[in-house]
Amino acid sequence: MKGLIVPPGQGKRLLTKAQDVTFKVTGADGGFASTFEVVVPPGFNVGAHVHEHSTEFFYVLEGELDVFAFEPVERTPDDWADWKSPDGEQILRAGPGSCMFVPTGTPHAFTNATENPVRMLFQASPPPDHERYFEEICEIFSAGTTVDSGAVQRLRDRYDVHQITPLRFEPPAPQ
């Protein structure tokens, strides 16, 4: 038996305007979770969503993300920025060293509301659903100038992504 060492800058990389994901450990490596290094561009909002069958862990390495992981008092369909939990928990600005654990069935989201890219470590268990999801969503994002919303919904249905608010990518205007 042997372990796996992945040097900096190594791993399978998927890159689009909205996604920069590097696979570090996959189900094929025998991992208990898929592990990714993710660069979140300014203006990217994953949208509130929930997974019925997977657990996730996020760790901010560089930059700041707005995050939450709780059931809100009210699920509003358009935006999660003002959501609050029944015990008063609110959206948090997470900087380097912050982590977010998301148990199965917990609504959660993140957005990069800053002008700088954010780098984070992301784990999803069990593998390999998130690996396949990233591969296929990158294909959709790269397919043309418009995103096929029907293809995105079919992908979400297949990989246990139950979207509550829309995914948005609104990069800041060049200066």
Q: Is 33 part of any domain?
A: yes
Asked if residue 1 is part of any domain, the answer here is no
pLDDT, the chain, mean:
94
Token representation of residue 44: 């990217």
pTM: 0.92
- For residue 69, what are the β-bridge partners? 108
Q: Structural domain of residue 122, as residue ranges?
A: 12-166
Q: Are 161 and 37 in contact (CB under 8 A)?
A: no
Write the CATH number for 21.
Answer: 2.60.120.10
Residue 113 placed within a domain: yes
pLDDT at 30: 87
Question: pLDDT, tens digit, for every residue of 14-33?
Answer: 998 888 999 999 999 987 89
Residue 137 has which token pair? 């969503």
Tokens representing 59 are 């760790």
Domain membership flag for residue 3? no
Strand partners, 93: 66
- Whether 16 is in a domain gets the answer yes
Q: How many structural domains does the chain have?
A: 1
- Report yes or no on 71 lying in a domain: yes
Instruction: Count CB-CB contacts under 10 A for residue 98.
Output: 16
Does 93 fall in a domain?
A: yes
Successive 10-residue mean pLDDT values, the chain, 175 residues: 90 91 94 94 96 98 99 96 97 99 98 97 96 92 77 92 93 79
Segment 114-144, tens digit of pLDDT? 999 999 999 999 999 999 999 998 888 887 6
Q: Is there a contact between 132 and 159 (Cβ–Cβ < 8 Å)?
A: yes
2 domain residue, yes or no: no
User: What is the residue whose two structure tokens read 């760790």?
Assistant: 59
